[in-house]
Amino acid sequence: MTKRASVESTAEAYLELLAARGVEYFFANSGTDFAPLIDAYAKRLSQGQALPRPMTIPHETPAVSMAHGYAMVTGRPQVVMVHVIVGAGNAVGGIINAARSNVPILFSAGRNPLTEAGLHGSRNRAIHWAQESFDQAGMVREYVKWDYELRNFTQLETVVDRALSLAQAEPRGPVYLTLPREVLAEKQETFEYAEASRAPRPAAAVAAPEAIAETARLLAAARNPIILTKAAGRDPLAVAALVRLAEALGAPVIDQFHTYVNFPQDHPLHAGFDATPYLDDADCVVAVESDVLWFPALKAPRPETKIVQIAVDPLFARYPIRGFPADAALSGTVSLNLSALAEAVRPRVDAAAVGERTQRWHAEHRRLRETWAATARKAQNEKPLEMVWVSKCVGDLVDDRTILVDEYDFDPTQGCFRAPGTYFGSSPAGGLGWGLGAALGAKLAAPDKTVICCVGDGAYIFGAPTAAHFVSRAYNLPALFVIFNNRAWNAVKRAVQSHAPAGAGVKSATMPLSDLEPAPDYELVCRASGGHAERVEDPAALPEALARALKVVRDEKRQALLNVICKKP
């Protein structure tokens, strides 16, 4: 069915089409290239046309991260638009994060005016010469699935529908669209478009039956199989399917470098977060949506160990180099492949062997939980605070109505996440500054849930906190931000320690290029945007401080921040 809208410009038609395609939010960091869009938005809003809702985000890092957070909770891509090449440059880190996390985003930027005169929208600012580039998309092409420049009004529907379809097709990821100002400014009268997109949408896919059967035979023959996963929970349906496979095999599931809730962490077959101690005894390793199975330079399974890789793209084809082997590989929709594999494994395994393995791993699960609890108890009185104790106090607050967004410092042994969509970790790419915006995007997507963001002090700085706290206040997105403040980039220090354990960097009183002292009073940044904020230095005071902060978030609907002073590494 064809729809017709009365519009005055290509920019207005673009917004009309985004709304028709279900885009709820337009995260924007604007510049002179936005002039036609801003004028079109003003008209639409005056007429009560609220969608897609314009969101003013005063820095590109939280803008992209908010779209990332919204999409990771809902699965639906939103639009981010930034200012020509300079805005795109600031946004690249966030786009890399989204690409490696397989998160769909329609990333767009204005295109500097092409003409010096003669068209509505031609150059009329001094910056319009210096902001021209030979290949604007070149800076992000390696990390987007598709890039294009809108050339004219006639192709608008095709371009937008293709962009959104490609972003959502597996493996999902960001796409990039540039929008020249003259094209946006073109005068129009009517816009006709299909009521729903007819762009191809590939259906969910399962591996061939013979591939499932061969993989099932391999698993059934294993004496000591283990399963490790990083991002199976990106598809929430994969969590229950993974439980069925683990139970059919009597095999443990290890959340190695996990970024989602992949497996209920209270399930007795959950075996923690590090597969290294189990690699020597494993005769079959099943890796589910895992880009890194182990560190070949440090530890690997025995050469005869069978390896199975299950992922949307088991090759991780966008990675330039990745040499992990596979004796079997299942591509396609992970939840479907796991379900099919569980059904194929069940009649092939030896029930007695499965029962013995199940009891053994149940005991290991209990041992791990007891060890982790003892570690937290031992740290509870340490001052400055130990991160494991801070994590324990945060973990005690988490329930199925809570979303925890973690940028590195939450210790996963001190939480127990059971339901898909309650925990999200940093992108495999590791671009700092993701956490603050992702937490705000998650809150926007799930307004009835409590959002807690755990972030290191270094990552907090990268997250453009002034902009992030502004957004929280401006759009009523209350979240609790917990800064694990150790006054250092600990990842940098650990890298030096593993590279040169007896080197000068380790022996120096202050390791160059890694310390963040004198530390700012981060709590003041949150207070400047109307939030509740405290500095916490006493481990005994932390639980009550967290309770006060959560009361502000839940009851007063204001953001809160705790600047927790942790032990310096």
259-276 pLDDT, tens digit per residue, is 999 999 999 999 999 999
Cα distance between the two ends of the chain: 63
- What is the widest separation between alpha-carbon atoms in the chain? 81
Q: What kind and span of H or E run contains 424?
A: strand 423-425
d(C-alpha 177, C-alpha 554), whole Å: 38
Question: What's residue 292's pLDDT?
Answer: 98
How far is Cα of residue 458 from the mean position of the Cα atoms in its chain?
18
525-560 pLDDT, tens digit per residue, is 999 999 999 999 999 999 999 999 999 999 999 999
d(C-alpha 494, C-alpha 541), whole Å: 29
Question: What's residue 223's pLDDT?
Answer: 98
Question: In the chain, pLDDT over 90 holds for what percent of residues?
Answer: 94
Mean pLDDT of the chain: 97
Sequence-distant (6+) residues with CB within 8 A of 465 are 436, 522, 525, 526
Question: What's residue 557's pLDDT?
Answer: 98
Residue 515 pairs with which residues in a beta bridge? 488
Give Cα separations from 247 to 226, 227, 270, 306, 335 (angstroms). Answer: 12, 11, 11, 19, 15
| Tokens matching residue 48 | 């009560």
d(C-alpha 253, C-alpha 273), whole Å: 9
Read off the pLDDT band of 496 (50, 70, 90): confident
d(C-alpha 425, C-alpha 412), whole Å: 10
Closest CA to 63 of 347, 545, 471: 471
d(C-alpha 143, C-alpha 412), whole Å: 29
Closest CA to 72 of 201, 229, 235: 235
Own/partner pairs, 127-135, CB within 8 angstroms, 24+ separation? 127/32, 128/32, 131/84, 131/85, 131/86, 133/85
Give Cα separations from 371 to 122, 376, 394, 409, 539 (angstroms). Answer: 67, 9, 18, 19, 20
Q: Against a cut of 0.75, is the pTM above it? A: yes
> Higher model confidence: residue 506 or residue 287?
287
Tell me the residue type at 135: D
153-191 pLDDT, tens digit per residue, is 999 999 999 999 999 999 999 999 999 999 999 999 999
Domain architecture of the chain: domains with CATH? 2-194 (3.40.50.970), 209-366 (3.40.50.1220), 380-565 (3.40.50.970)
The pLDDT of residue 397 is above 90: yes
In DSSP notation, 212-238 reads: HHHHHHHHHT-SSEEEEESSGGGSTHH
Are the beta carbons of 67 and 13 closer than 8 angstroms? no
d(C-alpha 549, C-alpha 534), whole Å: 9
Q: How many helices (H) and strands (E) does the chain have?
A: 19, 19
Read off the pLDDT band of 508 (50, 70, 90): confident
The pLDDT of residue 510 is above 90: no
Half-sphere exposure of residue 286, counting CA atoms within 13 Å on the CB side? Answer: 28
d(C-alpha 469, C-alpha 443), whole Å: 13
d(C-alpha 489, C-alpha 487), whole Å: 7
Closest CA to 310 of 329, 335, 333, 291: 329
Closest CA to 167 of 199, 206, 207, 192: 199
125-150 pLDDT, tens digit per residue, is 999 999 999 999 999 999 999 999 99
- Helix, strand, coil share (%) of the chain residues, nearest 5: 40, 20, 40
Are the beta carbons of 133 and 103 closer than 8 angstroms? no
Are the beta carbons of 274 and 299 closer than 8 angstroms? no
Question: What's residue 73's pLDDT?
Answer: 98
The pLDDT of residue 466 is above 90: yes
Question: What's residue 505's pLDDT?
Answer: 84
The pLDDT of residue 490 is above 90: no
Question: What's residue 511's pLDDT?
Answer: 87
Question: What's residue 509's pLDDT?
Answer: 78
d(C-alpha 287, C-alpha 293), whole Å: 7
Question: What's residue 495's pLDDT?
Answer: 85
The pLDDT of residue 498 is above 90: no
d(C-alpha 302, C-alpha 145), whole Å: 37
Give Cα separations from 53 to 56, 144, 412 (angstroms). Answer: 10, 24, 35
